[in-house]
Amino acid sequence: MAHDAENTELYGGIALGVATLAALLIANSALEPQYSALLEAKGEIWIGSIGLSKDLEHWINDGLMAIFFLLIGLEIKREAIEGSLASIQKAALPIIAAAGGFIVPAAIYAAACWGDDPQALRGWAVPCATDIAFAIGICALLGRAVPASLKAFLLALAITTI
């Protein structure tokens, strides 16, 4: 059973890497206008007279990231019940490190944007969530070479950036 979970994590990490590489290549090629048009294409969901109509980029950013953080939350719960966050002694360092990983980048971003447009201060959390997703994907690719405590730290950090 654990072997199947490791394979699933590995395949998820590979998919993340391949999708990232493909997006970077396409966005920086002659296909960029078509790529941008695809991201701007509208997607709709209707139930009776109630519906949502958003562009594909919005569905990815808000919809898929919500699912990502739901899965992260479930993993944190599992770690808190039976894993490397099950006791205060085990959880203290990842929680403190996650809080520092949340506060320090926010302070650096705020310091860099302080004199600029006040709206600029609203964007600091966007790179945090994306970077954590990639770090978790890399951990999945590395498998058992990554200590469980590092995965727990990244998951705790992910939760603090929500």
Q: What is the pLDDT of residues 64-79, one digit of tens each?
A: 877 877 877 787 788 7
In single-letter form, the type of residue at position 149 comes to S
> Vertex 5, ends 78 and 150: CA angle to 5°?
55
Residues 6+ apart with CB under 8 A from 137: 12, 13, 16, 17
**pLDDT digits over 12-34, tens only?**
778 878 888 998 899 999 999 99
Taking the chain (162 residues) in runs of 10, the rounded mean pLDDT of each run is: 63 82 92 93 91 90 79 78 78 73 75 75 63 73 74 68 53
pTM of the model: 0.55
